[in-house]
Structure 1
C-alpha cells in the first residue's frame, strides 16, 4: 500500500494526507522545506522532511524555526524572500539627485531673506519663482505685500523639500514632478536674464541641476526595477 504524508503548516494546522507525487509538487512550489514537519503513514511519528530520503531534501537550505506563544516549535514552510542585490553606486547617484531639491529649496529661502532685508546678491540655484514673488512684493512697497510674498515663498520652498524627501525614498513621481517644475522655472530664469539682467550663469546652473536630478531619477528607476525583479522571482507560499 502506498504511503501517504501529512504536513504540519506554519499556522499549526495539518494538511493531507497526500501521496508522494502531490508532496513533491508542494516541494517544487516552495511550500515544503527541509524542516517542515511531516508524518508518513507507516512511521507514526513527526519528522523533518529532510529525513525522508524519497523527498530529496537532505542537502537543501534549512528554514528558520520559530517558537509559538504556547512554547511549541513551529517550522515555517516558506522560503525567505531574498533581499534585492544592493548597488552602492546607484544608491549614491539616486540620493545625490534627490538632494538637489534640498539645495534648491535652501538657497531660494536664503535669496528671499536677502530680498526682504534689502541685500544685493542672489544664489544662482535659487528659484525664478521666488525671484518673481520677491520682485512683486518689492513693487507693492507695503508690509502686507512683503508678508504675502514671504508666505508664498515658504510654500514654494516647502514643495521642493517635499519632492526631496520622497525622491530619497525612490519615488519616481517626485523626481518627475520636480523636474517638470524646475524646467519651467529655468524658462522663467532665462526670461529674467533678458529682462532684469539676471546672470546667464543662473541659467547654466539650472541646467546642471536638472541634469543631476535626471541622473537621480534614472538611478531610482534602475534600483526599483532590480527590486521588482527580485520580488517576482521569490516563491509565494500558500500554507
Structure 2
C-alpha cells in the first residue's frame, strides 16, 4: 500500500484519529478512518465521496476521478487545509455540511441492509456448490449452505437405491437454492416481507443441523441469522427514514 493522502483529526478532548487514503498494488484506492475501511458513499463523473461521522461531525473524503488532483477532506462541508485539524465540541451542522446527518444515516442503513441481504447470496451459492460436490461423490461442503438439500439428496438416494444422487434431486436442490438467491435480491431492495420469510426459512433449516448435532453448521447458521436479522432491522429503519413527513393541517 502507498499513501496518497493522510490527515490527523484531533477531538477537543485530545483523542486523535488518522484518516488515510491508500493505493493498492493493483491501483485501487482505499479510505480508512482509525483503520476502519469506509465504503463509497456516492459517485459522480468528477469524484467519489467517502463519508462517515466522528464525534458529532460529518467527515467527507473527496477523491477526484478525472484529474490528477489529490484527495481532499471536508469536515461539516468545510475543506481541511493542511494535514491536521481539531474538532470543536458541536453537533452535526446539517446546513453547513455537504452531506447531512440524514443522508449519512440513510447511507449507513443501506450498507447494513445490503450486508444482511448478502447472506442469502452466500446461502444460495454455497447450497448450489454443495449440491454439485455431493452429486460428484465429494463428501465436503460449506456449512453456510442449506441442510435441506442434504436431506433431499439422502432421501432420493434411499428411494432410488443408487450410488450417485438422482438428477431430479439435484434439480430440486438448485431450485431451492435459486429461491434463496431471489429472496436475497428482494431483501437487498428493501422488501421486508421477503427478508423476514427468508430469515425464517433459514432458521428452520438450522434446526436440521441442531437435530444432527452438527456444531459447525449450528454456529454458522447462528452467525448468518444474526446478520440477516441485523439487515432486516436496518431495512425497517430505512423505511422510517425514507417515509415522507406527515403534512401539517392548518
TM-score bin (small chain): 0.5 to 0.7
State the partner residue of 1:208. 223
Contact 1:128 1:188 survives alignment (8 Å): yes
Give per-residue Cα distances to partners, 1:78-98, cap 9 Å, x unaligned: xxxxxx745222111110000
- SS of equivalent to 1:232: coil
Q: Give me the whole-angstrom Cα distance separating, in 2, the residues matched to 1:216 and 1:201.
A: 23
State the partner residue of 2:143. 124
Q: Give me the whole-angstrom Cα distance separating, in 2, the residues matched to 1:128 and 1:223.
A: 32
Give per-residue Cα distances to partners, 1:149-186, cap 9 Å, x unaligned: 01110111111011101001101001100111011101
Q: Which has the higher helix share?
A: 1
Q: Give me the whole-angstrom Cα distance separating, in 1, the residues matched to 2:230 and 2:177.
A: 22
- SS of equivalent to 2:143: coil
State the partner residue of 1:227. 242
State the partner residue of 2:232. 217
Are 1:185 and 2:205 an aligned pair?
yes
Shift of 1:144: 9.9
- CA distance 1:151–1:143, shift in 2 (3 Å): farther
Q: Give me the whole-angstrom Cα distance separating, in 1, the residues matched to 2:129 and 2:164.
A: 20
TM-score (norm 2): 0.54
Q: Which has the higher strand share?
A: 2
Q: Give me the whole-angstrom Cα distance separating, in 2, the residues matched to 1:174 and 1:129.
A: 19
- SS of equivalent to 1:105: helix
Q: Give me the whole-angstrom Cα distance separating, in 1, the residues matched to 2:139 and 2:163.
A: 20
Q: How many residues align?
A: 146
State the partner residue of 2:183. 163
Radius of gyration: which is bigger? 1
Q: Give me the whole-angstrom Cα distance separating, in 1, the residues matched to 2:240 and 2:103.
A: 11
- CA distance 1:233–1:85, shift in 2 (3 Å): farther
Q: Give me the whole-angstrom Cα distance separating, in 2, the residues matched to 1:144 and 1:113.
A: 11
Q: Structure 2 unaligned segments of length 5 or more: list them.
A: 1-101
Are 1:146 and 2:161 an aligned pair?
no
Q: Give me the whole-angstrom Cα distance separating, in 1, the residues matched to 2:109 and 2:222.
A: 21
Q: Give me the whole-angstrom Cα distance separating, in 1, the residues matched to 2:164 and 2:128.
A: 19
Are 1:89 and 2:82 an aligned pair?
no
Q: Structure 1 unaligned segments of length 5 or more: list them.
A: 1-83, 194-198
State the partner residue of 1:98. 117
Are 1:107 and 2:126 an aligned pair?
yes
Across the aligned residues of Structure 1 and Structure 2, the Cα RMSD in angstroms comes to 2.2
Contact 2:136 2:164 survives alignment (8 Å): no
